[in-house]
Amino acid sequence: MGASSAEVRVLSNRPVGPGCFVLTFERAGISFRTGQYLSLGIPGQREQREYSIYSGEGDPQLSVLVREVPEGLVSRRLAKLVPGDGLHVDGPFGYFTPDTALKSGGPLLFLATGTGISPFHSMVQTHPHLNYTLLHGVRTCAELALEEDFLGENLVACVSREDGAAYRGRITDRLKDLTVPPESHAFLCGNCDMIYEAFDVLRGFGIPSDRISTEVYF
């Protein structure tokens, strides 16, 4: 499945939570494996950035979940897009895919901060009967809007800066209290501080590093 380059039309731009939006655009025949990402930019402008694919493998359109970074070059441009606008798409790229884990079995543990929940959304859309637990770390309760399509029974929301969710605290603190079977496959996505810390906790649980996959956003 090779990477391609295409100019497509934006179909919708839907706000979800503070400063975040789901951008949906034409698929243009692009095939991908769930967990991969695309490189996006405005046609005619040189700068592009990577975004995990939010939609499922079988969906007719492609979507990404983006947080608008204040002072950010590309995310602010993407935030302004409206239906009918052009979008430059390269990809898909990446190896953050659950294929090996699905073949060998074992429970799946997903850890995400902020929009790092995006590839897991794609995985759950693609494989609706997935056996997973998702720990999602956000700063405020308003950001829990990013979890709208996940089932409550599989999801542990960790809000670090205010009360109001099932768990008040950092995702890595919640992880330390979890019983994680050593045959689990772990997928970590989001900011690098969480990923480094969670990696060490998981190794401490006896999970070998070849069963810990990571996707660092920044």
Ligand X SMILES: Cc1cc2nc3c(=O)[nH]c(=O)nc-3n(C[C@H](O)[C@H](O)[C@H](O)COP(=O)(O)OP(=O)(O)OC[C@H]3O[C@@H](n4cnc5c(N)ncnc54)[C@H](O)[C@@H]3O)c2cc1C
Total count of residues recorded for the chain:
218
Compute the least distance from the CB of residue 177 to ligand X, in Å: 27
Nearer of residues 9 and 80 to ligand X, judged by Cβ: 80
Contacts of 16 (CB under 8 A, 6+ apart): 22, 65, 145, 146, 148
- Quick count: other Cβ atoms within 10 Å of Cβ 127? 16
Contact window for ligand X (CB under 6 A) among 4-12, 24-32, 47-55, 168-176 = 47-55
Among 64, 81, 108, 195, binds ligand X (CB under 6 A): 64
Nearer of residues 195 and 202 to ligand X, judged by Cβ: 195
Compute the least distance from the CB of residue 109 to ligand X, in Å: 20
Nearer of residues 73 and 145 to ligand X, judged by Cβ: 73
Q: Write out the binding residues for ligand X, residues 130-169 only, by CB under 6 A.
A: none
Alpha-carbon distance of 63 to 51, in angstroms, equals 9
Nearer of residues 71 and 153 to ligand X, judged by Cβ: 71
Q: Write out the binding residues for ligand X, residues 86-125 only, by CB under 6 A.
A: 115, 118
Tokens representing residue 127 in the block: 């494989």
- Binding of residue 74 to ligand X (CB under 6 A): yes
Residue 215: closest CA among 188, 182, 181, 178 = 188
Give the burial class of 177: count Cβ atoms within 10 A of its Cβ; 0-12 exposed, 13-18 middle, 19 or more buried.
Answer: exposed
Residue 24 sits at φ, ψ, to 5 deg, of -115, 135
Nearer of residues 67 and 185 to ligand X, judged by Cβ: 67
Tokens representing residue 38 in the block: 């695309």
- Binding of residue 37 to ligand X (CB under 6 A): yes
Alpha-carbon distance of 35 to 94, in angstroms, equals 8
- Binding of residue 194 to ligand X (CB under 6 A): no
Chain residues that interact with ligand X, rule: CB under 6 A? 37, 49-52, 64-67, 69, 71-76, 115, 118, 215, 217-218
